Chain A
Amino acid sequence: AQSVTQPDIHITVSEGASLELRCNYSYGATPYLFWYVQSPGQGLQLLLKYFSGDTLVQGIKGFEAEFKRSQSSFNLRKPSVHWSDAAEYFCAVGAPGGGADGLTFGKGTHLIIQP
């Protein structure tokens, strides 16, 4: 069974500083990989996704993520965070065979932005 680990429950970053959120997955092959963001009181919004090809993926709001097969990782990065980036971030994986049983989510990383 696939699984996702987000090692950091909380991360605090100063506004303007760079950000990296970690995500490690467990799966027998290369899964489909996603990052979602959840602002307070809101649903989840897709930031970016990786299916195949270029291992560096660009997303919305200035975010990018890099797939590293050797490390089973899909870390999310942003060069300079803004106060509006404060939110909960979820990494998710899905089975490449398609599969109708949805995505497996990590437990989330809560991002706090210091002024």
Chain B
Amino acid sequence: NAGVTQTPKFQVLKTGQSMTLQCAQDMNHEYMSWYRQDPGMGLRLIHYSVGAGITDQGEVPNGYNVSRSTTEDFPLRLLSAAPSQTSVYFCASSYSQAAAKNIQYFGAGTRLSVL
């Protein structure tokens, strides 16, 4: 069982570069989300999606774009990377849009450094 797969695991960017963090799940989950994890800050929600074609902003959306063209995939795009976006990024998915009641499954994370 693959579960939630994130690629790449590590990435180094220069300020101003763009990149896409990939997230795919094979559990037919409706709900997918992106979090960032910073030391002493816990996990903070960036964007989420309750189904294909539907996305919305979380707590810290600035500087990030998302789209959900299929149920399986939920890529996170950094259009112009900034050092403040240096973080560990986690993708998560759960069975339905009642996200608070359903178990969220997390990917292994992408560690991003912006120089």
| Interface class of chain A by DSSP | loop
Given A45-B106, A101-B48, are A96 and B100 neighbors across the interface (CB < 8 Å)? Answer: yes
Q: Is the CB of B42 within 8 A of A107?
A: yes
Residue of A9, A31, A96, A100 with most chain B CB atoms under a 10 A cut-off: A100
B residues near A106, Cβ cutoff 8 Å? 42
Q: Is the CB of A99 within 8 A of B98?
A: yes
For this complex, into which size category does the number of interface residues on chain A fall?
Answer: 20 to 34
Q: Is the CB of B97 within 8 A of A98?
A: yes
How far is the CB of B107 from the nearest CB of chain A, in Å? 5
A102 CB contact (under 8 Å) in B4, B48, B103, B107:
B48
Question: Cβ of B56 < 8 Å from any Cβ of A?
Answer: yes
Q: Is the CB of B104 within 8 A of A103?
A: yes
Question: Cβ of B27 < 8 Å from any Cβ of A?
Answer: no
Q: Is the CB of B31 within 8 A of A100?
A: yes
A residues near B90, Cβ cutoff 8 Å? 43-44
- Chain A residues in the interface with B (C-beta under 8 A): 4, 9, 31-32, 36, 41-46, 49, 51, 90, 93-103, 105-108
- Known contacts A43-B107, A51-B101; can you find 6 more A-B pairs with CB under 8 A? A36-B106, A90-B43, A98-B98, A98-B99, A100-B31, A102-B35
